[in-house]
Structure 1
Amino acid sequence: MEQIKHQLESHQVGKVALNEPLNKHTTIKIGGPADIFIEPGGIEQLRKTLDLLKKHHIPVRVIGRGSNLLIPDEGIRGAVIKIGSGMDHIEEMGSTIRVGAGYPLVKLAAVMSRKGKKGLAFAGGIPGSVGGAVYMNAGAHGSDISKILSRAHILFPDGTLQWLSNEEMKFSYRTSVLQKEKRGYCVEADFHLEEGDPGTLTAEMKQFKDYRKKTQPWSHPCAGSIFRNPLPHYAGKLVEEAGLKGYTIGGAQISELHGNFIVNTGTATYKDVLSLIRHVQSTIKEKFSIEMETEVEIVT
C-alpha cells in the first residue's frame, strides 16, 4: 500500500493515510483500520482516486460522516474514501443552492435557516453529510431530502459524471436509485429552497433539535436509527413494546430513551452491536411476526 499511497500523493488527490483507525470516522466510535484512507480535495481528485485504485484492483468503500454505519473491529481491507472537508463547497443561485456532498447536513440546515431559506429545518438534528443524506433520502419530522432536491450530481464507477433529476433519483422511504439500480456516488446536490422568515425558521429548527435531544441518545456514541420503520408500525415503538429498551450485550445497549437506537456505552465492539441487532430482529419476529430491516449499513 506504500506504493499506492505515494502514487495518490503524487497526483495531489487530498489527504492520504495508511492503517487509519475508522472508529475516528464513525459516530458510534467502532471500526478497525482501513488499509489505505483517502479524503479527496474535490470532485476531480475523487475521480482520479477511483481511477487509480481501479487500475490496481483495490476494493473501495466510500463513506461520509460515518453515521448509519457499522464497521468491523478488524477494519476494512483495501481503500476507504471519505467524502468530507475537501468536498464541502456551497454556492447560492437564487432559490437554488448547490452543496458539496461533504457538507454537514446539520450545519447546512442552520446556515440556510438563518438566511431565511425554507425547507431544511427538518434536518437540524441529522448528523450525516449531504451526500449520505441524498443516498438514503434522509428525513425527519414528516419531511425528507426528496421534498427539496432538484437534482444530484453523480460520479459513476466508470468515471462518468451525470446530473440526475429528482425523478431519476427514484426516492422512496430512506431509499434512492443509488442503493439499487445505479451504483454511484453523490458528489454535490442542488436544492430548491423557498423564501421564509429567518426568525421563524431558526425557531422551528431549534424546536426539532431540542425534541431530538430529549428523545434520542446523542449524549452517547451511536449510529442513528438502527432499523427502518416497518410502516405502518414504528421500529422504536415495537422495540419498546417487546420490553427491549435498555437490553445490553457487551458494551452495546438499546437506548433507554429511544428503542430504535443502540448506544456504545464505552466498550462496545462490532460483534456486540451486531448480536444486539440480531436479538431485536428475532424477538420482534417472534412476538409480532414483523421483519425488522436495518437502516444502518453493516459492513461485513
Structure 2
Amino acid sequence: MNLIKGDDNLKTDVKAALNGIEVHTNEPLSHYTFTKTGGKADLIAFPTDTAQVRTLVNYAHQEQLPLTVLGNASNLIVRDGGIRGLVLILTQMNTITVHPEQNQVVAAAGARIIDAAETAYHAALSGLEFAAGIPGSIGGAVFMNAGAYGGEIKDVVTSITVMTRDGEIHTISGDGLDFGYRHSVVQEDNGVVLEATFSLTPDDPVAIRARMDDFNGRRAARQPLEYPSCGSVFKRPKGHYTGQLIQEAGLQGRMVGGAQVSTKHAGFIVNVDHATGSDYVNLIHLIQKTIWERFQIHLECEVRIIGEE
C-alpha cells in the first residue's frame, strides 16, 4: 500500500477501515518529536484505548504495513525521509491509577512519566522522584529503561502489559522484563507496551517533594532545557563521562546545520536554528568519529534513530 501521496480518498478509506480512529496521512513527524525534526509518516494514528490499538495492529498486519510505535518522542531522532507504513502515537492513552492498598501506581503507555511521578507524590509514595523531570512517556521509559540521578525504571516497575504484533495481550514481570542499561525486553520482542505497574514505598510527601525539587533544580541548572533536544545522546562509556570527553575533544558548541553540541551540557545536541534530522545524525557521526580518533573510545547512541534517509 502506497500512502506517501496522502490522497484524500485514500485517507477516507483508511478512516473507514479503522472505525473512526483519528488518523493523519503524509504528516511531518517534526510536529511530534522533541527535536522538532523528522520527515513525513505515511499514516499516523492516535489510539485512545487497547481495543483501538488492537484494531491498528491488526490493520497493519493485514495490509502488510511496517508498524512503528511512539510515545512522547523525547529520546528519538526521525530521519528526514520519514517513516513508511503506520505510526502509532500513544499519548492519548494516558490514564494513571493509584492502588494505595498495594502501594502501586498503574500508568498507561502514553502517560508522561513526569505525571506518574506527580501522582505518586500526591499518594505519598516514593520511588519515582528520579523521573520527575524526564519528559518521556511510560512506554518509552520502559522501552529504554530510563533513568536519572541514580534511579532507573527497573527499580520500580514490577510488571508491564504488552500487545504482540499478532494482537495478543501478555503480562511480563520479574526477570522476564530483562532490564539492563537503557535496555528492556520490549526492544527484543517488538511488543506494544500498553501499561506499566510501579511498586513504590510509602513516605512523607514533604520529603518526596524535596527530592523531586532537588533533581529538577539540578536538571534545570545543567541541561539545555531552553532548546529542543533529544535528551542525552550517548550512553556513558565505562569509566568515562561523555560530556567531558566531548569537551576535551574541542567539540562543545560545534554545529552541523542547525544542530549544535550544547554549550551548557556537551552530552546534549540542541536544535538552535531549524535543524533537520540529517543535521542531528551527521553531528552524531562527527562526534563519534572524533572521540574514537582522539581517545579510541566508541560512543554508543542512547537516542534512537529511526526512519529513512
Can you list the C-alpha shifts for 1:9-37, whole angstroms capped at 9, x where unaligned? Answer: 45436321112221110000001221111
1:192 aligns with 2:225: no
1:153 aligns with 2:161: yes
Q: Which amino acid in structure 1 is aligned with residue 205 of structure 2?
A: P
- Counterpart residue number, 1:265: 272
Residue 25 of structure 2 aligns to a residue whose secondary structure is strand
- Counterpart residue number, 2:111: 103
1:136 aligns with 2:131: no
Deviation at 1:73, TM superposition (A): 2.2
Q: Which amino acid in structure 1 is aligned with residue 146 of structure 2?
A: A
Counterparts of residues 35-74 of structure 1 (less than 5 Å): 35-74=42-81
Maintained 8 Å contact 2:105/2:120? no
User: Please, which of 101, 126, 140 is the counterpart of residue 118 of structure 1?
Assistant: 126
Residue 232 of structure 2 aligns to a residue whose secondary structure is coil
Q: Which amino acid in structure 2 is aligned with residue 158 of structure 1?
A: D
Aligned equivalents of 2:259 and 2:249: distance in 1? 18
Maintained 8 Å contact 1:21/1:31? yes
Aligned equivalents of 1:34 and 1:58: distance in 2? 12
TM-score (norm 1): 0.95
- Counterpart residue number, 2:6: none
Aligned equivalents of 1:6 and 1:227: distance in 2? 42
- Counterpart residue number, 1:34: 41
Aligned equivalents of 1:145 and 1:226: distance in 2? 18
Aligned equivalents of 1:177 and 1:76: distance in 2? 23
Counting matched residue pairs gives 298
Identity %: 38
TM-score (norm 2): 0.93
Residue 286 of structure 1 aligns to a residue whose secondary structure is helix
Maintained 8 Å contact 2:15/2:22? no
Deviation at 1:253, TM superposition (A): 0.2
Deviation at 1:235, TM superposition (A): 1.5
- Counterpart residue number, 1:170: 178
- Counterpart residue number, 2:23: 16
Q: Which amino acid in structure 2 is aligned with residue 105 of structure 1?
A: I
- Counterpart residue number, 2:282: 275
Deviation at 1:132, TM superposition (A): 0.3
Residue 22 of structure 2 aligns to a residue whose secondary structure is strand
Aligned equivalents of 1:289 and 1:5: distance in 2? 54
- Counterpart residue number, 1:89: 95
1:298 aligns with 2:305: yes
Counterparts of residues 226-265 of structure 1 (less than 5 Å): 226-265=233-272
Aligned equivalents of 1:57 and 1:135: distance in 2? 24
Deviation at 1:5, TM superposition (A): 5.1
Can you list the C-alpha shifts for 1:219-274, whole angstroms capped at 9, x where unaligned? Answer: 00000111011122221221122121111111000001111100000211111111
Q: Which amino acid in structure 2 is aligned with residue 92 of structure 1?
A: V
Q: Which amino acid in structure 2 is aligned with residue 119 of structure 1?
A: G
Aligned equivalents of 1:231 and 1:9: distance in 2? 52
1:215 aligns with 2:210: no
- Counterpart residue number, 2:82: 75
Aligned equivalents of 1:56 and 1:19: distance in 2? 17
Q: Which amino acid in structure 2 is aligned with residue 97 of structure 1?
A: V
Residue 153 of structure 1 aligns to a residue whose secondary structure is strand
Q: Which amino acid in structure 2 is aligned with residue 162 of structure 1?
A: H
Aligned equivalents of 2:283 and 2:14: distance in 1? 42
Supply the RMSD in Å over aligned alpha carbons: 1.4
